[in-house]
Amino acid sequence: DVVMTQSPDSLAVSLGERATINCKSSQSVSCSSDNKNCLAWLQQKPGQPPKVLIYWASTRESGVPDRFSGSGSGTDFTLTISSLQTEDVAVYYCQQYYNLPWTFGQGTKVEIK
């Protein structure tokens, strides 16, 4: 199985400041000849199911604010929230869909400082 490891486990960021979450896969999740990576970022707010923010490592889901961005390739990926808002308080998960079983990182809890 592809093991996904996120860092940090939690972070507290001031409103309007940048939040950065890292995700490392135990093997490359580069999945196509056109440099696509089978990596998604999901957001889960308390008491709610998860929601996809980013897929193909850097494609923002429709309706997701542009303060969310994804980058990286191969085994190392980053989710950046450029200017943290109150509504961004959540747990964020990276997830690979390179092969089965799909696997998630352990989650990163983002809070307001």
Partner 1 sequence: EVQLVESGGGLVKPGGSLRLSCAASGITFSYMWMTWVRQAPGKGLEWVGRIKSKIDGGTTDYAAPVKGRFTISRDDSKNTLYLQMSSLKTEDTAVYYCSTLGYSVTRSYDDWGQGTLVTVSS
Q: How far apart are CA 17 and CA 42, in angstroms?
A: 20
Nearer to partner 1, 16 or 47 (CB): 47
Rule CB under 8 A: which residues touch partner 1? Answer: 1, 38, 40, 42, 44, 49-52, 55-56, 61-62, 91, 93, 95, 97, 100-107
Nearer to partner 1, 16 or 101 (CB): 101
Assign 16 to helix, strand or coil: coil
Nearer to partner 1, 31 or 67 (CB): 31
Q: How far is the CB of 6 from partner 1 (least distance, A)?
A: 9
Q: How far apart are CA 100 and CA 91, in angstroms?
A: 23
Nearer to partner 1, 68 or 93 (CB): 93
Q: How far is the CB of 4 from partner 1 (least distance, A)?
A: 10
Beta strands in the chain (DSSP E): 4-7, 10-13, 19-25, 39-44, 51-55, 59-60, 68-73, 76-81, 90-96, 103-104, 108-112
Q: Is 38 in contact with 97 (CB distance < 8 Å)?
A: yes
Q: How far is the CB of 10 from partner 1 (least distance, A)?
A: 13
